[in-house]
Structure 1
């Protein structure tokens, strides 16, 4: 019985750790894609930091990436940057890989 309980606790701990890692990857990805967009909008370094944080915050509006995509597309378009949804999605995919690599490098 203790083996079963130990295995159950180990699986629960792994689940919690996996969820934490996924959250950290998405937050890092959103910061990186915010910096990418800020560069396209020619923002200053202070504005870039603030914008990257705003993109991270935008991800808490709804589940999935649509809230982030909507924010990025709206802001880039308003700034006169020619970009479409596929370019934003490609940047998200690229920055997800980069964020994962960065976090694995910290471990």
Structure 2
């Protein structure tokens, strides 16, 4: 029975580590996405940092990426930046690749 228990604990540890990495990648992606949007809105470095943190926080409103996409499209449109949902989704995908790369290099 101990072999089974050991395997179960190892599986649980792997699962927890994978979930933590997925969370970190998503948070990094959202921060990079916030920085991208802030550059389009021509925010100052201080405003950019604050805005990027706000984008990370927006992801906690509901499951999935729709809350982040809605925030960015709304903020960019309000700032007078010509954009649409497809552009934001493409930027989100690009930042996901960059976030993964950054975290893999950091390990």
Q: TM-score, normalised by structure 1?
A: 0.99
Give the match for residue 32 of structure 1. 32
Give the match for residue 2 of structure 1. 2
Give the match for residue 68 of structure 2. 68
Give the match for residue 21 of structure 2. 21
Distance 1:51 1:32 in 2: 11
CA RMSD, 1 decimal:
0.3
Distance 2:85 2:72 in 1: 9
Give the match for residue 53 of structure 2. 53
String of CA shifts for 1:33-70, please: whole Å, max 9, x gaps: 00000000000000000000000000000000000000
Deviation, structure 1 residue 80: 0.3
Distance 2:85 2:73 in 1: 7
Alignment size in residue pairs: 107
Unaligned stretches of 5+ in structure 2?
A: none
Unaligned stretches of 5+ in structure 1?
A: none
Deviation, structure 1 residue 2: 1.0
Question: After TM superposition, which residue ranges in structure 1, 4 or more long, deviate above 6 angstroms?
Answer: none
Distance 1:100 1:3 in 2: 34
Distance 1:88 1:51 in 2: 16
